[in-house]
Structure 1
Amino acid sequence: MTVHRTIENVVTSTSNLAAMARRVEHGLVKGLEIPVALLVLCEILLLFSAVVARYVFHVPLVWSDELASILFLWLAMLGSAVAFQRQEHMRMTALVTALKGDTRRFVELVSVAAALAFLVLILPASLEYAIEESYVWTPAMNIQNSWRASALPTSFALMLVFAVLRLLQSSNLRLALGAVAAIAVVFCLFWALKPVLVGLGNLNLLIFFVGGVAACVFGGVPIAFSFAIATFGYLILTTRTPPLIIVGRIDEGVSHLILLAIPLFVFLGQLIQMTGMARAMVAFLASLLGHVRGGLHYVLVAAMYLVSGISGSKAADMAAIAPVLFPEMKARGADEGDLVALLSATGAQTETIPPSIVLITVGSATGVSIAALFTGGLLPGLILAITLCFLVRWRCRNDDSSQAKRASRRQIGKLLVTALPALALPFVIRSAVIEGVATATEVSTIGIAYSVVAGLVFYRQFDWRRLKPMLVETASLSGSILLIIGAATAMAWGLTQSGFSTALAQSLSSLPGGAVTFMIVSIVIFIILGSVLEGIPAIVLFAPLLFPVAQQLGIHQVHYAMVVVLAMGIGLFAPPFGVGYYAACAITRVSPDAGMKPIVGYIVAMAIGLAVVAAVPWLSIGFL
């Protein structure tokens, strides 16, 4: 009886602790959502004001970039804290989800404990970094840089608290404590082996950057933290590098002002969905092609091409198109597995369509002109679209199209008038960059202003109640992306200091076959990296290493960018590891098993298109 009562008391205490942790977390989240929403809004207004002041009134706001940079770091870091609480940081869950029961719960708790350990270790260094930055004054606004750098310890502290609260909310505290103990044991083991590790030299690269990263990624640790943990372990245990340097490298990676385009284009993608612009484009395309065999499949390819040119976010692209087309496609007898496979393929196909976030990342990491990348990305994406359409035509050759009605010219004209403001948006964005009206960072604000006006005046769809959730979602998604870039920058710096970068460049530049062999090897590398690490971390890690080699071998950097970005996209959307494929399945609510067989043909079609793009440089650089 006494034992039974003791068990009941323990269960009650655990439940009370979990409930208290949930209440504390809820309060923190509510308090955090307001500032991150305001930060996104302030960045939009600030950059749009800078464009108007410079282009319309010819009075540039000399302090605008400086203020935007300060706000941007806060946006990125607080956004990453929101993403951490929402469990929206990019991570690989294929192996974790295959586990069952307490084993799966334990592994998930270990991933939280691993992130917690890193945050505990990095927080003091980030505080020291913020204090050191107090001696630096900004040139235009003349304020201490610590106001900006304080975003790092603030974010790390918030994520640390969220990690502790998540562990406390576990239904089994024994498993949570076991997870913390397991991470503590691993840390103590590596610390005890420090004298041995120091003597291993470059073998540590395999231990930390291959074994360590792989163990973390496949164990479900968010990719940003997987990179950060491996980098921290390598530099602290095998070199004399202080943790302060790691914080500085993360700051450097996040702080490229060109990356401010990421949250702004993410918000723009949500805006075109809310205002009905995406739906209008799809309806017009369907009126043109909906009556032919496989017509809506062609509409899906074309719609993803157009929408990708607006939103810059693959998840936003798929979420905008799939709910509009899939019900009608299923009603006409289309196989849902084939549909999700084609949706995934179009996600990979449109990676080079501007304003692609991956292209922006390439420009940031390598110094290649963003305008040149935007111009060069149109034809390669079109080539892959053509190869996909050939496969669609073959697969749909026996479909019954008798139920599909041809739209009348009057209907097509009416839908065209409705879709014109939406169809014009990609051209407005690209023209603003090419004509020099706005930079690649600022141009998204023109698209946002255009979409707001179109939604209010033309489409009359603008739900003000959705504005705050959209701003918070923008901060969360952007924070998860930007923290990966920061962590990958720190990791790339660690690899550079080890001499690995130089050795890799020398070995690749000396491959037999010259540029052709190097291009083939690069395609294979980026398909694998895209599948395992997702696109952005793969680009940040390897683009600075491989682009100089490509240039040395006579390959135009824009051409090389198109090839590796498309290769990365194929890996990102290819099962069994490509997380883009599972995102497409989640958006369409189709079982991943259903699309496994159909997607093979689409991958082959895209591989043929990629081979054409790689073999014909003019497709990438002909209009530069």
Structure 2
Amino acid sequence: MIILICSLLLLLLLGVPVGFSLIGASLVSLIFQGTIPLEVLPQRLSLGLDSFPLLAIPLFIFAGTLMEAGGITKRLILFSEALVGHIRGSLAHVTVVSNVFMSGVSGSGVADAAATGTALIPAMVKRGYGKGFASAILAASATVGPIIPPSIPMIIFGSFAGVSIGKLFLGGVLPGLLMSSSLMIIAYFIAKKRNYEKREKASLLTVFKTFLDAFWALLMPVIIMVGIFSGYFTATESAVIAVVYSIVIGLFVYKDLKFSDLPRKILDAVLMTAGVGIIIAASAPFAWFMAFVQGPQKLLDLFQTISMSPTVILILLMVILLVLGCFLDGTAIIIITTPVVLPILTQFGIDPLHYGVILAINVMIGTITPPVGVIMYVTTGIAKTNIFHFAKEVMPFLITLILLLFIFMLVPGIVTFLPNLLIK
């Protein structure tokens, strides 16, 4: 196990991409083990992707790219502005609300950040918000995307841990809404202190018109969630519905999507999926070898020497994951740690549904923390600002999200209330 971990850390420090680092660490460990045939590596790589629930990932990513091209994102932003544009720091609140609406479709924080950021960050900079603040509020808002269903991190965890993806989706609703509300409160106080703009309150007629214009976009997450929880289709099948719906609405209702756009959008989705897919496949031999050398049992024994309290163990896990989030991609964290952590959850009586949701929140926080937060790089790239300005401006939002994470951890009912109420 020491060779496996050390090999992985060395490769990551050398700048090798996460997926190839996992493959390299597994290969080195198999060679040093000596008794396991090397054919295990390609076998486990293929098995890592042999999962029906994982099919939802490329489909939700594709749906997200279609939304942007089909005019759905633009209409959601206009409706958001009609709702909250009159509050001090109007575009900051529009950013948060737009990402809440976007979260009901793509399941990817990176996709949401790219789709809304290209429209909102330049607008915020133009109105004097500052590049650092614009990129920070956009990035913080995008972390909510994979918490409010659908959610790619929850799909990955649920498929690996055997937890109902539908329940995980429901478990993220209340935390996601609390996160977005808290971000708006922090943004309001910052805007008030800096005297950021506020616009005239939209008339009820304007709100109604923008609602009608965005109606078909807003209906999409409703169809997805009702379909899943009524049992008409699975979470994976809902991703197919999302793609078909996005194409129909983009082509024939809003008419912003052209048939000529489809090949480019398919390629965009393939490229994004490939990055995730390599990590998922590469983590399979890594996790298998970790189990072979009894890594989970050794970690369990270590934790038992520290404490027998489930709360203490959960706090320790969250701190470890927050640190990992500063250096590793969230997908890799979920896949690498889940097989190791599951026996610990069982031993200490921790609800895997509760853990799965706070795990998703934890890794999303990692996407906006230096030095390797992927959403951080997306938003700073759009704003054309540097990480230092971003880090300074994102700090109030980051602290708020971390505090909420520990509240959700200590009060499981916030996560489990809706799943227990609606799914028996």
TM-score by length of 2: 0.94
Counterpart of 1:593 in 2: which secondary structure? helix
Q: Does 1:379 align with 2:174?
A: yes
Q: Does 1:293 align with 2:293?
A: no
Mapped partners of 1:344, 1:243: distance in 2:
42
1:276-425 equivalences under 5 Å are 276-400=71-195, 404-425=199-220
Give the CA RMSD over aligned residues.
Answer: 1.7
Amino acid at match of 1:252: L
Gaps of 5+ in 2: 420-424
With a CA cutoff of 8 Å and minimum separation of 6, indicate the structure with the bigger relative contact order.
2
Amino acid at match of 1:532: F
For the 8 Å contact 1:515–1:554, the answer to whether it is kept is yes
For the 8 Å contact 1:524–1:567, the answer to whether it is kept is no
For the 8 Å contact 2:90–2:199, the answer to whether it is kept is no
Q: Does 1:529 align with 2:324?
A: yes
Amino acid at match of 2:284: T
Mapped partners of 2:364, 2:240: distance in 1:
26
Mapped partners of 2:196, 2:13: distance in 1:
45
- CA deviations 1:23-45 (Å, max 9, x no partner) are xxxxxxxxxxxxxxxxxxxxxxx
CA 382–254 in structure 1, closer or farther in 2 if over 3 Å, else same? same
2:2 counterpart residue number: 206
Mapped partners of 1:623, 1:208: distance in 2:
40
1:78-117 equivalences under 5 Å are none
Mapped partners of 1:611, 1:321: distance in 2:
28
Report the CA distance between 1:581 and its aligned residue: 1.3
Q: Does 1:477 align with 2:272?
A: yes
- CA deviations 1:504-547 (Å, max 9, x no partner) are 12322453251111111111111122222211111111112213
Mapped partners of 1:215, 1:454: distance in 2:
48
CA 235–396 in structure 1, closer or farther in 2 if over 3 Å, else same? same
Query: How many corresponding residue pairs?
Result: 419
For the 8 Å contact 2:325–2:369, the answer to whether it is kept is no
For the 8 Å contact 1:432–1:438, the answer to whether it is kept is yes
Q: Does 1:591 align with 2:383?
A: no
For the 8 Å contact 1:304–1:317, the answer to whether it is kept is yes
Mapped partners of 1:561, 1:309: distance in 2:
18
TM-score by length of 1: 0.65
Identity of aligned residues (%): 30
Amino acid at match of 1:508: F
1:562 counterpart residue number: 357
Amino acid at match of 1:324: A
1:623 counterpart residue number: 418
- CA deviations 1:219-275 (Å, max 9, x no partner) are 221111100001001111223111111111111111111111111011000011111
1:614 counterpart residue number: 409
For the 8 Å contact 1:291–1:406, the answer to whether it is kept is yes
Report the CA distance between 1:279 and its aligned residue: 0.9
2:422 counterpart residue number: none
For the 8 Å contact 2:121–2:138, the answer to whether it is kept is no
Amino acid at match of 1:388: L
Amino acid at match of 1:242: P
Counterpart of 2:39 in 1: which secondary structure? helix
For the 8 Å contact 2:102–2:145, the answer to whether it is kept is no
For the 8 Å contact 1:528–1:568, the answer to whether it is kept is no
2:19 counterpart residue number: 224
Q: Does 1:445 align with 2:240?
A: yes
